[in-house]
């Protein structure tokens, strides 16, 4: 649908068509309450019973309980509540129950959160202890053997949602057995359903939660297996449904759909075989290796689900990879789905001891069991397309890209940023306040376009630029003498500023960069066009300072854009006479059509990065053309738009509406009254 390639199957999956039909049938025809004794109720009850019987056979649940519920998070609560109520009863009787709640360090957050919650509510007062994993993500069995004797409950997942790493459940069972512990054992089987053979009743597993939406059933339906004889306390009390184990009228549409998926699994005629899934993953991995030189896989394929790849690319952040894949309509996720918006390091990969760049830069590509040959083939083509877009933008430093950048480039991470002043004609550049995290990026740009770095300067004294200098190699003269701000000892130009001060300046293309003192241990830099031996205030286009509030008022004008290097409010840049931002800067896609008709001179400006722009696969034919001005280049363009006099209406667009909002706000603050942002971004406009 919508020509998107959905490779985020570990987050959720599409519904099996036959399952959707079953759900629709329940809603339209067999809508009875399975607890009713009349015919309408009985027709629904048959569906419920058949789904349960199928689940019992498929999971090998034997004499154990198998109840339907709302999903794995609920199943986890029920399991933890059941175990801890039993633990508390034993505590009250004065029996020894151990003092630990042990959970795998890579468990889904629902597990430690549920343990902490019920431990607190029930007053069981046990200590939550993470069981370490090795570099491959497998539980440390020696550590388990040491912890198990003192454990009241042990929680270990069957397969990890971020890496697909399949746990050694036999090894864990043996370690638990050997320790002689009475601990109750929960295995989160969410990612294992349909991908690993389970025969639960033959194991020591006490609780096993499952979730429908990870395997082509709808969201909001799941199952919990409880071993025969294991303690059980209902989480929800009421009308006694599910034989009193989970009250509340059943989610029959969800259960009917899940029943169809379980039946398909049991028949084995609907989903690709394991061998096919392995083949699909191998093809995706090959496509990634070809498109993204240096790609490193964070999961060992032979020890993980055949449907999961987790990788990082040196010098390219997970945000950037996410964005480029999204532009090509390939849906992947950064780390786990829950933390996708934050781009924080993945705690799962951290627990495996991977270096920060691999953990913070990780992308998970996972497919559901309904994937087919054509999807994989298109995915491989689009991966190649993304690689080409990243290379063309100089993001991957294996070949020079065609178009060198010219002018000002802003490179930031989390409220801090550095600046590159680039002159394409002379292939020279100046680096201002480079962030250590962006060393690889700056190097890729410089090497990709063969720029000569004239200076690497800082707005505060004593910044350590050694790693960047080393990384730039022959592109920067490391022998040249510099002062504590990185400013070259020998500069050809002496210029007089508007306040009469005489300062040093470096020429770059037709412009000059002049340095000015900005208080104790601080410098500001002015970029502009000189007039003879003067740098008049009105010819200063940009002033770089550690903070937006500047000490450069006397040597600049209202037209000068203030470029902060600590941009805590993410303003991109500021002006001396910023105006309050009006509230009317959002346009939705309907309002956009009307706006463009009323303003034929309006320009659509796509502020996504060049690699996203280049990788874009339109959702529909005939999508409206936009000019590409990446957010990192906005300040350069803002200066031109503002100096242009007449303010042509600007409508900024991006993927989700966040960056375009920043751009529109920035332009409004700078006094460009006719700038707007497309609400919801291209994701909704498509």
Provide the binding-site residues for ligand PLP, judged by CB under 6 A. Answer: 71-73, 108, 110, 157, 161, 188, 190-191, 211, 222
Q: Is 285 helix (H, G, I), strand (E, B) or coil?
A: helix
As measured in angstroms, the least distance from the Cβ of 333 to ligand PLP is 11
- Calpha distance 212→192 (Å, rounded): 12
Nearer to ligand PLP, 113 or 134 (CB): 113
Task: Please state at what angle helix 373-392 crosses helix 274-291, rounded to 10 degrees.
Answer: 10
**DSSP annotation string for 287-304:** HHHHHSTT-EESS-GGGB
As measured in angstroms, the least distance from the Cβ of 187 to ligand PLP is 10
Length of the chain: 686
Q: In the numeric block, which tokens belong to residue 26?
A: 């329940």
- Calpha distance 465→481 (Å, rounded): 14
As measured in angstroms, the least distance from the Cβ of 568 to ligand PLP is 33
Nearer to ligand PLP, 212 or 404 (CB): 212
Q: Is 406 helix (H, G, I), strand (E, B) or coil?
A: coil
Q: In the numeric block, which tokens belong to residue 562?
A: 């203030």
As measured in angstroms, the least distance from the Cβ of 307 to ligand PLP is 12
Helix (H) or strand (E) holding 67: strand 65-69
Nearer to ligand PLP, 71 or 368 (CB): 71
Q: Indicate the pairing of strand 184-186 with strand 151-155.
A: parallel
As measured in angstroms, the least distance from the Cβ of 206 to ligand PLP is 17
Give the single-character DSSP code of 195.
T
As measured in angstroms, the least distance from the Cβ of 259 to ligand PLP is 17
Under a CB-based contact definition with an 8 Å cutoff, are residues 439 and 397 in contact? no
Q: In the numeric block, which tokens belong to residue 487?
A: 């400013």
**DSSP annotation string for 551-619:** S-GGG--TTSEEEESB-TT--S-B-TT--PPPS--EE-HHHHHHHHHH-TT-EEEE-S-HHHHHH---S
Which residues are bridge partners to 224 per DSSP? 67, 209
Nearer to ligand PLP, 156 or 211 (CB): 211
Choosing from 189, 338, 563, 654, the catalytic residue is 338
> Please, which residues have CB within 8 angstroms of residue 229's CB and are 6 or more apart in sequence?
none
Under a CB-based contact definition with an 8 Å cutoff, are residues 607 and 629 in contact? yes
As measured in angstroms, the least distance from the Cβ of 211 to ligand PLP is 3
Nearer to ligand PLP, 139 or 672 (CB): 139
As measured in angstroms, the least distance from the Cβ of 108 to ligand PLP is 3
Q: In the numeric block, which tokens belong to residue 278?
A: 């392995």
Of the candidates 540, 510, 536, the one whose C-alpha atom is nearest the C-alpha of residue 528 is 540
Nearer to ligand PLP, 255 or 614 (CB): 255
Of the candidates 618, 623, 626, the one whose C-alpha atom is nearest the C-alpha of residue 651 is 626
Residue with the closest Cβ to ligand PLP? Answer: 71
Nearer to ligand PLP, 211 or 428 (CB): 211
Nearer to ligand PLP, 364 or 475 (CB): 364
Give the other-Cβ count within 10 Å of 679's Cβ.
Answer: 18
Rounded-to-10 torsion of CA 634, 635, 637, 640: 160
- Calpha distance 597→545 (Å, rounded): 41
563 catalytic? Reply is no
Q: Indicate the pairing of strand 452-457 with strand 416-423.
A: unpaired
Helices (H), 268-354: 274-291, 318-327, 347-351
Give the single-character DSSP code of 399.
S
Give the other-Cβ count within 10 Å of 619's Cβ.
Answer: 14
Nearer to ligand PLP, 141 or 186 (CB): 186
As measured in angstroms, the least distance from the Cβ of 234 to ligand PLP is 18
As measured in angstroms, the least distance from the Cβ of 161 to ligand PLP is 3
Nearer to ligand PLP, 9 or 649 (CB): 9
Of the candidates 523, 321, 542, the one whose C-alpha atom is nearest the C-alpha of residue 422 is 542
Nearer to ligand PLP, 77 or 241 (CB): 77
As measured in angstroms, the least distance from the Cβ of 168 to ligand PLP is 17
Place of tokens 């399952």: 19
Residues that are catalytic: 338
């Amino acid at each position: 649908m919508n020509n998107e390639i959905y490779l985020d199957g570990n987050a959720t999956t599409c519904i099996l068509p036959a399952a959707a039909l079953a759900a629709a049938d329940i809603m339209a025809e067999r809508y009875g309450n399975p607890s009713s004794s009349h015919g309408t109720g009985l027709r629904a009850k048959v569906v419920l019973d058949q789904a349960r019987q199928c689940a019992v056979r498929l999971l090998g649940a034997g004499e154990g309980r198998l109840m339907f519920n709302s999903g794995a998070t609920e199943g986890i609560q029920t399991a933890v509540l059941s175990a801890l109520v039993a633990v508390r009863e034993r505590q009250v009787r004065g029996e020894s129950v151990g003092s630990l709640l042990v959970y795998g360090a890579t468990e889904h957050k629902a597990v430690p959160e549920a343990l902490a919650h019920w431990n607190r509510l029930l007053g069981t007062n046990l200590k939550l202890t993470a069981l370490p994993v090795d570099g491959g993500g497998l539980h440390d069995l020696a550590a388990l053997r040491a912890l198990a004797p003192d454990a009241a409950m042990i929680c270990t997942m069957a397969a990890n949602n971020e890496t697909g790493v399949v746990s050694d459940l036999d090894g864990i069972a043996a370690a638990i057995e050997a320790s002689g512990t009475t601990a109750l054992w929960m295995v989160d089987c969410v990612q294992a359903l349909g991908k690993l053979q389970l025969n639960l009743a033959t194991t020591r597993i006490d609780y096993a939660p499952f979730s429908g939406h990870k395997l082509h059933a709808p969201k909001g339906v799941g199952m919990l297996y409880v071993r025969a004889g294991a303690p059980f306390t209902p989480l929800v009390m009421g009308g006694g449904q599910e034989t009193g184990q989970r009250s509340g009228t059943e989610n029959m549409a969800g259960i009917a759909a899940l029943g169809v998926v379980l039946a398909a699994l049991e028949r084995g005629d609907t989903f690709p075989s394991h061998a096919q899934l392995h083949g699909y993953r191998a093809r995706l991995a090959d496509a990634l290796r070809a498109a993204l030189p240096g790609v490193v896989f964070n999961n060992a394929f032979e020890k993980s689900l055949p449907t999961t790849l987790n990788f990082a690319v040196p010098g390219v952040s997970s945000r950037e990879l996410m964005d480029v894949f999204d532009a090509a309509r390939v849906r992947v996720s950064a780390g786990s789905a829950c933390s996708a918006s934050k781009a924080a390091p993945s705690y799962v990969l951290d627990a495996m001891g991977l270096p920060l760049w691999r953990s913070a830069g990780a992308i998970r590509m996972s497919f559901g069991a309904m994937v087919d040959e054509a999807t994989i083939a298109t995915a491989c083509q689009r991966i190649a397309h993304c690689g080409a877009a990243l290379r063309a933008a100089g993001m991957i430093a294996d070949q020079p890209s065609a178009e060198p950048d010219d002018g000002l480039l802003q490179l930031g991470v989390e409220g801090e940023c550095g600046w590159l002043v680039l002159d394409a004609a002379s292939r020279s550049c100046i680096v201002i306040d480079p962030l250590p995290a962006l060393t690889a990026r700056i190097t890729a740009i410089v090497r990709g376009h063969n720029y000569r770095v004239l200076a690497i300067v800082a707005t505060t004294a004593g910044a350590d630029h050694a790693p960047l200098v080393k990384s730039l190699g022959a592109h920067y003269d490391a022998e040249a003498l510099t002062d504590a701000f990185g400013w070259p000892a020998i500069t050809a130009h002496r210029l007089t500023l508007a306040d009469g001060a005489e300062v040093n300046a470096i020429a770059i293309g037709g412009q000059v960069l002049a340095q000015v003192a900005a208080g104790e241990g601080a410098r500001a830099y002015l970029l502009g066009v000189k007039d003879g031996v003067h740098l008049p205030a009105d010819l200063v286009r940009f002033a770089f300072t550690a903070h937006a509030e500047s000490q450069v008022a006397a040597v600049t004008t209202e037209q000068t854009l203030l470029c902060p290097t600590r941009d805590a409010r993410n303003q991109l840049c500021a002006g001396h006479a910023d105006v309050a931002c009006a509230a009317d800067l959002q346009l939705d896609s309907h309002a956009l059509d009307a706006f463009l008709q009323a303003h034929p001179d309006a320009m659509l400006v796509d502020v996504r990065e060049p690699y996203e722009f280049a990788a874009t696969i339109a959702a529909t034919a005939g999508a409206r053309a936009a000019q590409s001005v990446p957010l990192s280049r906005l300040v350069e363009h803002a200066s031109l738009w503002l100096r242009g006099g007449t303010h042509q209406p600007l409508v900024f667009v991006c993927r989700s509406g966040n960056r375009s909002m920043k751009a529109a706000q920035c332009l409004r603050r700078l006094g460009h009254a006719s700038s707007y942002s497309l609400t919801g971004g291209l994701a909704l406009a498509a």
